[in-house]
Amino acid sequence: MLQNYFPILLFIIVGLLVGAGPLLLGRLLAPNRPDDEKLSPYECGFEAFEDARMKFDVRFYLVAILFILFDLEIAFMFPWAVVLKELGMFGLSAMFVFLAILTIGFVYVWKKGALEWE
């Protein structure tokens, strides 16, 4: 009975080795020479946080949510493109309706000024 679980155990062990192995090797073998230049903020525009409860501009969250929303459309378009021949005209029209609704949402967000950065 336990023989049936051996491939699963082997798969878990190999997965852990592949995931943690390079991290451990990099930690052990790589040189660690931090200096002020390496520890300075990089491309974020502001110094590191001292307090986790400080106020944060809501526009960062808005842009992130809009990116996720409009990026997820691609997740729906790949499977649709694979089975387009089987779906025929119905599938094509359904995707046009989906993209039209998405475009209306994009225009709405644009008109509301959510994409403006001051």
Residue 114 CA to residue 62 CA, distance in Å, equals: 7
Hey, what are 114's tokens? 């959510």
The amino acid that residue 55 corresponds to is K
CA distance 115 to 66: 9
- Domain assignments of the chain as residue spans, ordered by start: 50-118
What is the SS3 assignment for 54? coil
Predicted structure pTM score: 0.49
What is residue 17's predicted lDDT score, i.e. its pLDDT?
95
104, 115 in Cβ contact below 8 A?
A: no
pLDDT averages per 10-residue partition of the chain, 118 residues: 88 95 93 80 61 72 83 85 90 91 89 80
Give residue 26's pLDDT.
93
